[in-house]
Structure 1
Amino acid sequence: MAQHAVYFPDAFLTQMREAMPSTLSFDEFISACQRPLRRSIRINTLKISVADFLALIAPYGWSLTPIPWCHEGFWIERDDEEALPLGSTAEHLSGLFYIQEASSMLPVAALFADDNHPQRVMDMAAAPGSKTTQIAARMGNRGAILANEFSASRVKVLHANISRCGIANTALTHFDGRVFGAALPEMFDAILLDAPCSGEGVVRKDPDALKNWSPESNLDIAATQRELLDSAFHALRPGGTLVYSTCTLNRQENEAVCLWLKETYADAVEFLPLGDLFPDADRALTPEGFLHVFPQIYDCEGFFVARLRKMSSLPAMP
């Protein structure tokens, strides 16, 4: 597969050398970042079963490879992309599938792990809607989802994708996610916080993703992430499940944010290990039980996923 020129700041490379476990090759990390990203889709089981979709597209000659952590997810190769872009196919326009990066399917897989069946779910930073629509499909359009997005322009995209996919159990809101802990205390069975981040994991899709990168910006973003996670944790009911995820690779925005929550609320926070989420998940497992997915491990975008349980009620936020 052809390589493309990715911009790597020296300080970023230094940080990655420190963050990467010794079991992984730094040269393979650089090589993986320079390979174009594999395309992937998630079949929308609210509109069609996996078997029926595979039968439907069989005459097209599309090559589909299953994604280990998502039964409805497939890497896709097709010869007619230039003649008919994937997003312009009738199947996509009618909501039979969602074009979604493979690693971005991990957070929802974690949210529903261990036979978890939440009835009230919040997606705190929901646009463009890949994970909201994945949650709705896992819930079978039952229960209730609050899909929040702070960016006004991105709310429109979120609404369009929810409509295209036939989602009927979701309310859209347009707030700063930091309000929910005080406004809706201990209201949700499960919360997904796919947090705004520095986006270090997306260089395979955007070779210039690191043009404005700096260690200082990582720390600024991490401060916002801590406030969002604090709000989400307060909005979660005791016994509920929270998944924190990013598409970045540095520890400050990932492990350190989760460890801050544990230090702040001690025994109220239980980390739920993700080593059994799918076969080979242990290749990305951190000592804390999180998944820190460097792009060379599964040939996908870089990603981070942590799953935790709220063990006890907390005093109300001010």
Structure 2
Amino acid sequence: MENPSNLLLKLSRSLFADTAEQEKFIHAVTNPQPFNPAILWLQPKPTENPFHVENPVSWQPEFVDRLALESKPGKHSLHQAGHYYCLDFSSIFAASTLLTISQPIELILDMCAAPGGKSVFAWKTLNPELLLCNEVIGKRMGMLTSNLRRCQIQASAAANLDSTIFAEKIPQTANLVIVDAPCTGQSLLPKGDKAPGCFHHVTINSNANRQKRILANSAKIVAPQGYLAYMTCTYSSAENEQVSEWLLSKFPEFQPVTVRHLEKYRSHLTEIPCYRMWSPDKLGAGAFTVLFQNTSEGETNQLPADFLYLARFTL
């Protein structure tokens, strides 16, 4: 197997033409550092915030606080009481495309939901009538349902199904489908976590093919004029921009949505308006995000009542 350092160098060259940018990227990936934690408030903020809060960036929603590096929000009693959800700032960045959706949302389906951060963000932002959270990996269901209960996300349901079943059973029902896709997880490395084989082309191609299958099924579930949000926590363009281009070629009724507040983060690797957070920016370890809209006309299908028997209501 090729040396991981050589694979990282190849990846950096595919992402940046400038040598200095390549070096900055490699340094960030190979020299882990802490990133500021963030919390998403689900209850009104207390009069006196128990944490030191960093100055917000321009696109940061008012219900999110980015905290000082030394903060331990997961250990506070307000966390246990469900007053906020802890997540990293890269996740806030990726989910912030949803802030551009202004139409009423009845049904949200989060296809790859565990542990639940993007689901909670979508619920807080869009106030749907029903949030359906799916997780195909059974052992991750516990953390998902626990977080939905702790945060009192109503009305929500959790399911453990393959995306194919949703495409067959509930086509054109969801006003928003979120696909926070399984990926090589390359952005885990700047945080000091492990992602074995994440730069190898076989691993990248395998993940890209899986992402395309999930996205194809997810596209069939989106109602006319509804939205499909795609995001990853990896750097490879084969899992990000190229997957997005593939989706548009297979489902021409979908069009990318320009997200004005993320314009300075727009990817230089495609003509499609999609957005990246890079680890050298020091806001987060990295993220890719793009929002599509189903431009087709027609009626939204109602969610069949018997379908919910396949899901496990959490609340």
TM over 0.5: same fold?
Answer: yes
CA, structure 1 residues 284+63, in 2 after alignment: closer, same or farther (shift >3 Å)?
farther
Residue type matched to 1:260 in 2?
W
Mark the CA change 1:212 to 1:218 in structure 2 (over 3 Å): closer, same or farther: closer
Residue 69 (structure 2) pairs with residue 75 (structure 1): no
Identify which of 11, 24, 27 aligns with 2:23: 27
Q: 2:206 aligns with which of 211, 220, 226?
A: 220
* SS, match of residue 67 in structure 2: strand
Asked if the contact 1:238/1:310 (under 8 Å) is kept, the reply is yes
One-letter amino acid of the structure 1 residue matched with residue 10 of structure 2: T
Match of 2:312 in 1: none
Equivalent position to 1:98, from 85, 88, 94: 85
- C-alpha change, 1:165 and 1:68, in structure 2 (3 Å) is farther
Structure-2 change in CA distance of 1:299 and 1:44 (3 Å): closer
Deviation for aligned residue 1:65: 3.2
Q: Aligned residues, how many?
A: 294
Cα shift at 1:313:
6.6
Answer whether contact 1:290 1:304 (CA < 8 A) is retained. yes
Spell out the pairing of 1:238-253 with structure 2 (5 A cutoff): 238-253=224-239
Whether the aligned pair in 1 keeps the contact of 2:12 and 2:25 (CA below 8 Å) is no
CA RMSD of aligned residues (A): 2.5
The unaligned stretches of length 5 or more in structure 2 are 299-315
CA contact (8 A) 1:201 1:248 kept: yes
Note the alpha carbon deviations across 1:165-217, whole angstroms, 9 max, x for none: 11111111111123211221101111110000000112122343245641111
1:123 has 2:107 as partner: no
Q: Per-residue deviation at 1:280?
A: 3.4
Q: Name the structure 1 match of 2:256.
A: 271
Q: Give the Cα–Cα distance (whole angstroms) in 1 for the partners of residues 185 and 287 of structure 2.
A: 9
1:203-238 per-residue CA deviation (whole Å, 9 max, x = no partner) reads 122343245641111101111110100000000011
What's the TM-score, normalizing by structure 2? 0.84
Within a 5 Å distance, the mapping from 1:146-185 to structure 2 comes to: 146-185=132-171
When the two structures are superposed, what TM-score results if normalisation uses the length of structure 1?
0.84
Three-state SS of the structure 2 residue aligned to 1:252 is: helix
- Select 1:190's aligned residue among 163, 173, 176: 176
- Gap regions ≥5 residues in structure 1: 1-6
Q: What is the CA distance between 1:24 and its match in structure 2? A: 7.2
Deviations 1:104-133 (A, max 9, x none): 113332123152432211100000011111
Q: Distance in 2 between matches of 1:244 and 1:238?
A: 17
**In 2, distance between residues paired with 1:218 and 1:183?**
30
**Structure-2 separation of matches of 1:37 and 1:284:** 27
> Identity over the aligned pairs, expressed in percent?
21
The 5-angstrom pairing of residues 126-141 of structure 1 reads 126-140=113-127
Following superposition, the deviation at residue 73 of structure 1 comes to 2.2
Is 1:290 matched with 2:274? Answer: yes
User: Are positions 1:306 and 2:303 aligned together?
Assistant: no
CA contact (8 A) 1:107 1:243 kept: no
How far residue 287 of structure 1 moved from its aligned partner, in angstroms, is: 2.5
Question: Which stretch of the first structure deviates more once superposed, 223-232 or 205-214?
Answer: 205-214
Residue number among 77, 81, 86 corresponding to 2:73 in the alignment: 86
Q: Which residue does the alignment assign to 1:4?
A: none
